[in-house]
Structure 1
Amino acid sequence: TGTEEEQAKNFQWGLHRSTLNHLMCMSYTNVAQVSNAARNYEILNERDDDDAERPDKR
Structure 2
Amino acid sequence: EEEQAKNFQWGLCRSTLNHLMCMSYTNVSQFANAARNYEILHERDDDDTERPDKR
Superposition TM-score tier, normalisation by shorter sequence: 0.7 to 0.9
CA RMSD of aligned residues (A): 1.8
* Residue-pair matches, total: 54
The C-alpha deviation readout for 1:17-51, integer Å capped at 9, x for no partner, is 01101001001111100100000000000000000
2:23 maps to 26
TM-score by length of 1: 0.76
**Runs of at least 4 residues off by over 6 Å:** none
Identical amino acids, percent of aligned pairs: 74
2:33 maps to 36
Whether the 8 Å CA contact 1:28–1:34 is kept in 2: the answer is yes
Q: What residue ranges of structure 2 are gaps of 5+ in the alignment?
A: none
Q: What residue ranges of structure 1 are gaps of 5+ in the alignment?
A: none
TM-score by length of 2: 0.80
How much does 1:55 deviate? 1.4
Name the amino acid aligned to 1:10. K
